[in-house]
Amino acid sequence: MSVPSFIPGVTGRDEGGEKMKASGRPKEKGIRPEREGQCPQNPFQEFRTHQAPSKGDLPLDQIVQSTELVMDQIRHGYEKLLEEEAKELVWMVQYNTIIKAYEVAEKYVKEIDYSSEDIEDFCFALENTQKIPYLIPGPAGLYISALCNYAKEGEIVLKLCELKTEINLLGFRLTKGKRLVIEGDAGDFTGIGLEGGDMVVEGNAKNWTGAGMRSGKILVKKNIGLHTGEWMMGGEIFVGGRVRGLGNIVEGKIYEREKLVYPGKVRYSNTYY
Amino acid sequence: MLVRLSTSERICVVQQNGYQKRVSDIYRFISENLYFNRADLQIKGERYNSAILFSLLTALKKGKELIIGEPGLGKTTSAEFVSSLIYQFPLGVIWGSEVSGHPEQTEEKIIGRPDLGKLNEGEEAVVWTNFSQIPVKIVDEVNRLPETKQSMILDGVDRGNWEYLNEMIINDEYCLFATANYHDGGTNTMIPPLVDRFDVVVESRYPGPNLSFLIGKTKRKDQVLRHPRCEKALQGILKSKVAYEQKIPKMEQICNAFGDYVYETVGIKPLQRREREEIRAEMEGLELDLDASAFLRMVLAEFSFCDRFGQKRVVESCEEGCHYTGYLCHEIKNCASNRLPTSIKQYAQAVAWLLGDTEIDMEHVNLVIPYTLAHRVQWRDETIAQKERSQRDDPFPIFIAKESVRLVSQRYREQSDHVKDALAVASRIFEGESLETPEGDHPLYAEIRKDIDSRRN
């Protein structure tokens, strides 16, 4: 095996004269030739002739660029939803409005390749960026629900504790096999129309939680508002704190601090107890 | 001696000898007639059932495969069919050579026993078992062997050396299949040294009610792999008292006759020993391309690195607040063994060869890593608790291995150029150039720095 010569004068430049990555530390000494015999194998031999195609972009730049591209697509879908569904900046939560808006949201979301982290970024962008014109909790929640339902990941964790606004309609139609964890508080209509999914709210949820849900599980670790489980057709709602009031429930179970409160005789719709 | 062929020569050889087609035909014959199951993995547009594919590759590559699954779902039979068609042994001989794991199992039943006739005459000779003599080794329900007895097969499994009294036979060509049920009252924990010796783990899965119904309905086609005359002749050779080395050519002769019979009966041509050796030589000629190599280094770094303690050790637990918390090293307890990269390369070579590719690329490596990792990694309890309820089709160890490989693969895609640059710079530093040590966040950069520092100091 030929022993490569050690050239004391060579600095951190490659053969083409291009500067190698600077680390800011003083240059380090090369391998002493007399030690070559001790470890004849160069474990990096196969990369010796590798030349990167472009040195312009740092990996971080590429990551930021690709994230921004995805965020632009997500934002575009949301703006389209607002254009089509909430032009007047007034948005009423009615069954037909929800269905229609969700279908529009689905249409745009299906075309985007995103990850659960992008959903979380979008939630923050809603409040903290000038690029998104307005945050309307209803459509925003529906759009986020569509993003969650079409995400590649089975489990989506949204850290929303630092958001000032509570987003409504999170977890709409969450499908079987999906798990949505909200770290923070959720707004009104959380988990409505749940279709077998598993939803966890680490904080509080407001009114109409689980309304019209068909199956699945909602766990609210703190308190829950009025009309809980209104017209729910199945599934279970677990509340770690207090339930302020129950809705008119068709079928399903509601637990408060591990105690079954519906079906049960002691509870009446929307009353304190 | 192996001669390394150039790419064009290799393509030429591939076209001429048609071994890939023959192996693909064997795969198709098994999946269509003998072992009904769904395809559960896909590569480059080809769909395969993992149990049959990895068993075929194990037989071709002289590997070791652990097949897990529920009772009665074809773990042993899949291995038997593959072994019969790749090694030309009739099923009767394979059945007669299997070792079954049970608490009363002894070295005498697995490896060999004293020749009592000769012992009476004052001579010491060993009667070797069929298991230790034939190249196809199947251990049924290996996890029913008590932990103390599992070590009996360690050396044989690892090196093909079978020792009894003061005699030894060495298998030049052998592959091993072991089946294991999920834990029940009669199973034991498999000792980590034995587990680590298996190259891959696969699950023989439930084929679904419709295919399962078909299994009960169709006439048994495995009769085609029976041949009483060949079986009797092979049994005769195996128990004859000539030296092991002399038995091998005799066995080959009968195996070839059985192979011809199978070809005449069903049109599938099993592989002769010379052909298997040629296939192995072709596979050995395939090398990892730069991306596959760099990616594999990233995987190995994440499964062995510990910033605080120098490397992962099963007795040391990971610190909270470590800079590398986001990497897989934070999620695991043990260190990847040196057998892991060997297994990955061997099986990736085999997959690349089967697909007719001239280099091992990321897709080949990505496909095999989860199956080589699943049984070797000990995950932290927190990670298991977090992920074991996830929706999935695979058993948990394979599922979590696939998930983690997907994560590393994503990380590699984001920084592949930088990683390859760093490895190139490291290579030049190793060869004496005075360059700055490459910097980066991934554990691989820290490992590169360690290698360079160990050479400098």
- Cα distances from B21 to residues B11, B47, B289, B351, in angstroms, run 14, 15, 24, 13
Which range (A215-219, B155-159, B424-428) has the least confidence? B155-159
Question: Chain A contacts of B451, Cβ < 8 Å?
Answer: 43-44
CB atoms within 10 A of CB B407: 15
**How does pLDDT run across A217-234, given as a tens digit for each residue?**
999 999 999 999 999 999
Which sign does the torsion angle of CA B71, B81, B210, B205 carry? Answer: positive
Tokens found for residue A105 = 């949201």
Is B263:B121 a contact under the CB 8 Å cutoff?
Answer: no
Q: Of B152, B149, B144, B151, which is closest to residue B192 (Cα–Cα)?
A: B151
Token duo for residue B396? 């948990």
A137-146, A207-216, B28-37, B445-454: which range is least confident on average? A137-146
pLDDT at A89 over 80: no
Structure-block tokens of residue B441: 């966040």
**CA triplet B250, B79, B30: central angle to 5 degrees?**
95
Measured in whole angstroms, how far is the alpha carbon of residue B381 from the centre of its chain?
27
Count of beta carbons in the 10 Å neighbourhood of residue B385: 10
**Based on the domain organization, do B407 and B448 belong to the same domain?**
yes
Q: Report residue B117 CA to chain centroid gap.
A: 39
- B264 interfaces chain A, CB cutoff of 8 Å: no
Q: Is the pLDDT of residue A35 over 80?
A: no
Put simply, the answer to whether A48 touches B428 (Cβ < 8 Å) is yes
Tell me the residue type at A89: L
What confidence tens digit (pLDDT) does each residue in B354-363 have? 999 999 999 9
Overall size of chain A counted in residues: 273
Cα–Cα distance measured from residue B30 to residue B21, given in angstroms and rounded to the nearest whole number = 14
Contacts of B351 (CB under 8 A, 6+ apart): B43, B57, B364, B367, B368
Between A170-179, A192-201, B215-224, B426-435, the lowest mean confidence (pLDDT) is in B215-224
List pLDDT tens digits, range B128-152. 999 999 999 999 999 999 888 888 8
Interchain proximity B436–A23, CB inside 8 Å = yes
Asked if A254 and A236 touch (Cβ cutoff 8 Å), the reply is yes
Amino acid letter, residue B354: L
Structure confidence at residue A16 (pLDDT): 37
Provide DSSP, A70-131.
HHHHHHHHHHHHHHHH-TTS-----HHHHHHHHHHHHHHHTT----HHHHHHHHHHHHH-SS
Number of domains forming the structure of chain B:
2
Indicate which of B289, B359, B420, B427 best probes the interface with A, i.e. most A CBs within 10 Å of its own CB: B427
Separation of alpha carbons B185 and A51, rounded Å:
58
Residue A123 pLDDT exceeds 90? no
pLDDT of the residue at A53: 54
Does the CB of B425 have a partner CB in chain A at under 8 Å?
A: yes
- B205, B40 in Cβ contact below 8 A? yes
Given this model, what pLDDT does residue B220 score? Answer: 64
**B377 in contact with chain A, both atoms CB, cutoff 8 A:** no
- CA angle centred on B161, ends B160 and B164, rounded to 5°: 140
In a shared domain, residues B345 and B208: no
**pLDDT-derived band at A11, boundaries 50, 70, 90:** very low
Q: Where are the beta strands (DSSP E) in chain A?
A: 155-159, 179-183, 195-201, 215-220, 236-239, 253-256, 259-262
User: Of B398, B453, B452, B446, which Cα lies nearest the Cα of B302?
Assistant: B446
Q: Which of B219, B236, B271 is the last residue of a domain?
A: B271
A87, two tokens: 């032009």
Cβ-Cβ contacts under 8 Å, A53 against chain B: 417
Is the ipTM reported for this complex over the cut 0.85?
no
pLDDT mean across residues, chain B: 91
Rg from Cα positions in chain A = 27
Query: With contact defined as beta carbons under 8 Å apart, do A226 and A205 qualify?
Result: no
Burial class (CB in 10 A: 0-12, 13-18, 19+), B223: exposed
Q: Which of residues 403-422 of B touch A (CB under 8 A)?
A: 414-415, 417-418, 420-422
Query: Which residue of chain B is at minimal alpha-carbon distance from A10?
Result: B434
Q: Assess if residue B284 is contained within a domain.
A: no
**B117 located within any domain:** yes
Tens digit of pLDDT for each residue in A132-175? Answer: 666 677 788 889 999 999 998 889 988 888 777 888 899 999 99
- To test the contact with chain A by mutation, choose from B417, B420, B457 the residue with the greatest count of A C-beta atoms within 10 A, namely B417
Assess contact for B201 and B177: CB atoms under 8 A: no
Looking at the fold, whether B323 and B267 belong to one and the same domain comes out as: no
pLDDT at B44 over 70: yes
**pLDDT > 70 in chain B, percent:** 95
Test the A interface: residue of B430, B439, B445, B456 with most A CBs within 10 Å = B430
Q: At what angle do helices B362-373 and B396-430 cross, to 10 degrees?
A: 120
**Backbone dihedral angles phi then psi of residue A246, each to the nearest 5 degrees:** -95, 155
Residue B296 and residue B260 share a domain: no
Per-residue pLDDT tens digits for B277-295: 999 999 999 999 999 999 9
Nearest-CB residue to A6 (from B424, B432, B435): B432
Query: pLDDT at residue A28 above 80?
Result: no
More confident residue, A96 or B402: B402
Q: Which residues on chain B are in Cβ contact (under 8 Å) with A29?
A: 434, 456
Residue B418 structural domain: 290-456
Which residues in B lie closer than 8 A to residue A22 (C-beta atoms)?
A: 436
What is the percentage of chain A residues whose pLDDT exceeds 90? 31
Most confident segment among A88-102, B49-63, B138-152: B49-63
Residue B124 lies in a domain: yes
Question: Touching check for B188 and chain A: CB below 8 Å?
Answer: no
- Amino acid letter at B301? A
Task: Note whether B70 and B195 are same-domain residues.
Answer: yes
Determine the distance from the C-alpha atom of residue A197 to the mean position of all C-alpha atoms in its chain, rounded to a whole number: 15
Q: Is B34 exposed, middle or buried (0-12, 13-18, 19+ CB in 10 A)?
A: buried
- Chain B's closest residue to A13, CA to CA, is B435
In total, the C-beta contacts within 8 angstroms joining chain A to chain B are 114
pLDDT score of B330: 94
Residue B264 and residue B336 in one domain: no
- Work out the average pLDDT over A64-69: 78
The alpha carbon of residue B301 is apart from the nearest alpha carbon of chain A, in Å, by 14
One domain, residues B62 and B205? yes
Q: Which own/partner contact pairs does A1-6 have at CB distance under 8 Å and 24+ positions apart?
A: A1/A40, A3/A33, A3/A36, A3/A37, A4/A33, A4/A36, A4/B431, A4/B432, A5/A33, A5/B432, A6/A30, A6/A31, A6/A32, A6/A33, A6/B432, A6/B434
- The beta-carbon neighbor of B429 closest among A30, A46, A54 is A30
For residue B2, name the pLDDT band (cuts at 50, 70, 90): very low
Do A115 and A151 form a contact (C-beta atoms < 8 A)? yes
Q: Which residues of B touch A14 (CB under 8 A)?
A: 428, 435
pLDDT band at A92 (very low <50, low <70, confident <90, very high): low
Q: Is residue B278 domain-resident?
A: no
Helix (H) or strand (E) run with residue B163 in it: strand B161-164
**Position with higher pLDDT, B360 vs A87:** B360
Q: Is residue B7 part of a domain?
A: no
- Say if the Cβ atoms of A21 and B438 lie within 8 Å: yes
Instruction: Evaluate if residue B231 carries a pLDDT over 70.
Output: yes
Same domain, B231 and B84: yes
pLDDT interval class at A19 (50, 70, 90)? very low
Residues B137 and B82 in one domain: yes
